Structure 1
Amino acid sequence: MMEQAHPCGGATLVTLSFALLFFSTFTHAFSSAAYPELNHVKPRHSRLLRSAVQRETPTSQLSEIWSPLESQGWKPYVENKPSALPEKSEGYIQVFLDGGLNQQRMGICDAVAVAKILNATLVIPYLELNPVWRDSSSFLDIFDVDHFIDVLKDDISIVKELPEEYSWSTREYYAMAIRETRIKAAPVHASAHWYLENVLPVLQSYGIAAISPFSHRLSFDNLPMDIQHLRCKVNFQALTFVPHIRTLGDALISRLRYPRGSAREMGSNYLQEVTSAVDSKNAGKFVVLHLRFDKDMAAHSACDFGGGKAEKWALAKYRQVIWQGRVLNSQFTDEELRSQGRCPMTPEEVGLLLAALGFDNSTRLYLASHKVYGGEARISTLRELFPLMEDKKSLASSEERSLIKGKASLLAALDYYVGLHSDIFISASPGNMHNALVGHRTYLNLKTIRPNMALMGQLFLNKTIEWSDFQDAVVEGHQNRQGQLRLRKPKQSIYTYPAPDCMCQA
């Protein structure tokens, strides 16, 4: 083919055409790979989805799924007599907590326990800047600090900040060089004896010890029962969110139970709204779904989520940048990972799970989640199954959300609060929020569905399964995964399995 000179000179028509084609293709590929949420994500389980959309749930199944848990013979432990504080403190304990809200929550409980073991004064824990969510919220921004101190006043001494003589002990001070007052070598799940041997001498020498890192740094086993009870007291009684989170949370719960219009129509007078709603006898029920499907989770799982080559490229690049490509599961195929239950469920898949369990299209579903990877394209199938799905944005006005906008920890706190007060809670895959709420709701004997990840992975691999067989398998596989109390085993977390350490038989 002969090239024709362009009338204006310079590039030929053919050359220009190829350049434009290349630029267009490159731009599309870059946009698709960098922003897979711009792609149209096709349903991966179309046959099941069509049947699920047309489902009719028997009244008996609806009644059973919504029925609250019967008493399981356990109740929260309540101490008969508070312990007396020693006359003299050994010094000040500082802890620096990384991770997200729920990992920090567990660290706070452990910090109180360590302060008790050492007979030290606890400085309100310092929350590190989260590298993923970029949230700088402090303890005082998230938790009711006065309530925290008051509940624990008979157990340990707590101060909001260090006295002037120790004001040099800051995060910046420890970042600059090795310091004798910093404890850097605390092993994961350290014993009480380790702290007495390694931290107490530092306290006695300098009057202060800063422990960093401090994540999962206290054992769940072989501790005195009063220390275990104290951890429970912190988690279930002392840690409450700041008033504006609780107030907004109550408003969202009210709007889920008594739907009366959009957030804009309701305005911001949620105190009056919540108070008036309490007298109503027509409270509706709702489910909270923690849809743990953000980019971080999707990349770390090394699974295929049906977004095509662009999504695979984007996740592989993200994996390389964040973890230098080191992802444990990457050595397995997608089929192997799914059959072992190692793949987080997509919004479509968790919607099919809920539909199979018996939730119909009149179910009020609250979506507790950070930004969903894939955006609305991924959520659309879930919304098709549950058209009454709500979230923070749909239930609260921009004015009401102004105090938490852009604050990942406060957004997570609001979701935690609503999740704790829901009729049913379910998380799309295990994680810190799942573990924390499973434990908290077990403590209160509330219904919580724990997805059988291996079963669901195997069912979704079967592309010819009929809806009736899928539904039967899901119902059978989740009969004993709806809040039935499980006693903690050695090495398991006291915060996920509160019995028997935090509870006693009724």
Structure 2
Amino acid sequence: MKAEHQNLYQPHKGGTLCKMLFPVLLLTLFFPLGHAQSSMSPEFSIIKPRHSRLLKSALQRETSAFLLSDPWAPLENQGWRSCVESRNGPALPEKSEGYIQVFLDGGLNQQRMGICDAVAVAKILNATLVIPYLEVNPVWKDSSSFEDIYDVDHFIDVLKDDVSIVKELPEEYSWSTREYYATAIRDNRIKVAPVHASANWYLENVLPVLRSYGVAAISPFSHRLSFDNLPMDIQRLRCKVNFQALTFVPHIRTLGDALISRLRYPQDPLKVTAAGDKEMAGKFVVLHLRFDKDMAAHSACDFGGGKAEKLALAKYRQVIWQGRVLNSQFTDEELRSLGRCPMTPEEVGLLLAALGFDNSTRLYLASHKVYGGEARISTLRELFPLMEDKKNLASSEERSQIKGKASLLAAVDYYVGMHSDIFISASPGNMHNAMVGHRTYLNLKTIKPSMALMGQLFLNKNISWSDFQQSVVEGHQNRQGQIRLRKPKQSIYTYPAPDCMCQA
């Protein structure tokens, strides 16, 4: 996308000014006052349900005989256990080869995976890792640092026998800063690390830089370490970082615990969950909708907002991606049949209702802005009136600690999601992948929607509730957290078995 924006500003005979102003004019015309990222446009403030027949049955909770088990039933023991301690890995060397700096972009969960990879690279090189630098998020403008999100002392302590980690560079290397690398080409900056680079690539290309300069800065770094053909001790170290070393700062955990208590004990949120009180605790589902404007626009799908919504999304695509959208050569029906359309809040609600969750289900909404705002969420709220989120569960004083910080908001949602009875994400993405992997590691129930199945069912406008429910239940029997062994090229953070788990 960056390169595409740069092309708009290339000199062209007589057309430079026009090309520079065109995107701005479009934004002004279609998004008044420059709110290109607004989650709601007045043109489609009323959004009608797309699946009225199914919705009517779901609201009446016409439960059929196809429910095979209690939707709240926890996963049975699958014969696997956590296994992250290295048995025969190399000891921490007496002398470090130098200092490794990494600069991580993306959101919370993409950065989380980058942190795990950075520790692994430091281990491969026998280097000392400097606490990773988190780039300012270009979408959310979030400048949160590693120290703002994670407990640094815990991080260093858990990994002290595996990798040497420092909070900052020694004085002699104080010149090695983000600004230093932004102003010119530097010989000790590694900017050509291939995606999913091998361990040998780092030994051949980065180790010499370390030995020459004492410090090597790797940027960009996201997804710069292979998931395959690595020593077992390196694989297990990555999972040790992810599942043990990365702990949120105390105030995030405190707020998360408060929200969890209010979800489990809505009548008495101060109740202590002692052993005798656990039976009194209520259950709750965490739902990550992942239905923001970028997601909706980039999918090229129709979401039922009418002509106004189609026009708004088309113009947004034109401004942001110059009209080029993934899969735009397919029709809406083809995209849905292939499972390439994000589910709307209404559709996720119907999925949950079909799986047997009734209107007494407490639902925690873990999402940023939902495209279409309350108008888009209203049908979901009608299905699940006990739906909560950070805004109505936390006090204004509690919210003030994380206000305007997308990474901290996401961290709270991650923490609550890890303590929920069930987690479901409406569409695949970094949050989905991270939660699936972490909850698999702990054998927690996690519903993974079959996007293709749901797309095909929603295309059938004549399907009965009974047939819809049967198809949903049968299609999701084995998509609720059952362990799937990682295949070549798949992420170790989404599929932790067998690399980071052992058969019991």
* Distance of 1:371 and 1:393 partners within structure 2: 12
Question: Equivalent residue of 2:466, what SS?
Answer: helix
1:196 alignment counterpart? 203
2:244 alignment counterpart? 237
1:68 alignment counterpart? 74
Residue-by-residue CA offset, 1:324-367 (whole Å, 9 max, x unaligned): 33322211111111000000000000000000111000001110
| RMSD over equivalenced CA pairs, Å | 2.0
Letter of the structure 1 residue corresponding to residue 460 of structure 2: N
1:302 shift after superposition: 1.1
1:420 shift after superposition: 0.7
Letter of the structure 1 residue corresponding to residue 57 of structure 2: S
Residue-by-residue CA offset, 1:5-61 (whole Å, 9 max, x unaligned): xxxxxxxxxxxxxxxxxxxxxx99866997644321111111111111111447994
* Distance of 2:234 and 2:320 partners within structure 1: 37
Letter of the structure 1 residue corresponding to residue 434 of structure 2: A
**1:86 aligns to 2:93 (yes or no):** yes
**1:385 aligns to 2:383 (yes or no):** yes
* Distance of 1:162 and 1:234 partners within structure 2: 21
Indicate how the Cα distance of structure 1 residues 29 and 240 shifts in structure 2: closer, same or farther if over 3 A, else same: closer
* Distance of 2:77 and 2:273 partners within structure 1: 30
1:5 alignment counterpart? none
Letter of the structure 1 residue corresponding to residue 470 of structure 2: D
Indicate how the Cα distance of structure 1 residues 294 and 239 shifts in structure 2: closer, same or farther if over 3 A, else same: same
Contact 2:64 2:466 in 1 (8 A): no
Contact 2:102 2:217 in 1 (8 A): yes
Structure 1 residues 249-328: aligned runs within 5 Å: 249-260=256-267, 273=270, 275=272, 279-280=276-277, 281-328=279-326
1:54 alignment counterpart? 60
Letter of the structure 2 residue corresponding to residue 102 of structure 1: N
**1:487 aligns to 2:485 (yes or no):** yes
1:320 shift after superposition: 2.6
**1:218 aligns to 2:225 (yes or no):** yes
* Distance of 1:148 and 1:319 partners within structure 2: 41
Question: Which of the residues 354, 365, 368 maps onto 2:366?
Answer: 368
Letter of the structure 1 residue corresponding to residue 481 of structure 2: G
Indicate how the Cα distance of structure 1 residues 452 and 322 shifts in structure 2: closer, same or farther if over 3 A, else same: same
Question: Equivalent residue of 2:455, what SS?
Answer: helix
Contact 1:37 1:377 in 2 (8 A): no
* Distance of 1:118 and 1:450 partners within structure 2: 37
* Distance of 1:166 and 1:325 partners within structure 2: 46
| Structure 1, unaligned runs of 5 or more | 1-26, 267-272
* Distance of 2:237 and 2:171 partners within structure 1: 29
Contact 2:284 2:420 in 1 (8 A): yes
* Distance of 2:30 and 2:112 partners within structure 1: 41
Question: Equivalent residue of 1:202, what SS?
Answer: helix
Q: Normalised by the size of structure 1, how large is the TM-score?
A: 0.89
* Distance of 1:30 and 1:411 partners within structure 2: 26
| Structure 2, unaligned runs of 5 or more | 1-27
1:322 shift after superposition: 2.5
* Distance of 1:86 and 1:275 partners within structure 2: 46
Question: Which of the residues 140, 148, 153 maps onto 2:147?
Answer: 140
**1:122 aligns to 2:129 (yes or no):** yes
Indicate how the Cα distance of structure 1 residues 388 and 60 shifts in structure 2: closer, same or farther if over 3 A, else same: farther
**1:496 aligns to 2:494 (yes or no):** yes
**1:354 aligns to 2:323 (yes or no):** no
* Distance of 1:228 and 1:136 partners within structure 2: 30
* Distance of 2:148 and 2:194 partners within structure 1: 29
1:436 alignment counterpart? 434
1:193 shift after superposition: 0.2
* Distance of 2:479 and 2:91 partners within structure 1: 41
- 312-321 vs 381-390, which moves further: 312-321
Residue-by-residue CA offset, 1:255-285 (whole Å, 9 max, x unaligned): 1111127xxxx7xxxxxx3646765231111
2:399 alignment counterpart? 401
**1:228 aligns to 2:235 (yes or no):** yes
1:410 alignment counterpart? 408
Aligned length: 470
* Distance of 2:422 and 2:463 partners within structure 1: 28
Letter of the structure 1 residue corresponding to residue 185 of structure 2: I
Indicate how the Cα distance of structure 1 residues 402 and 418 shifts in structure 2: closer, same or farther if over 3 A, else same: same
Q: Normalised by the size of structure 2, how large is the TM-score?
A: 0.90
Letter of the structure 2 residue corresponding to residue 342 of structure 1: R
* Distance of 2:316 and 2:82 partners within structure 1: 44
2:417 alignment counterpart? 419
Letter of the structure 2 residue corresponding to residue 330 of structure 1: S
**1:157 aligns to 2:155 (yes or no):** no
Letter of the structure 2 residue corresponding to residue 378 of structure 1: R
Identity of aligned residues (%): 86
1:85 shift after superposition: 1.3
2:183 alignment counterpart? 176
Contact 2:68 2:473 in 1 (8 A): no
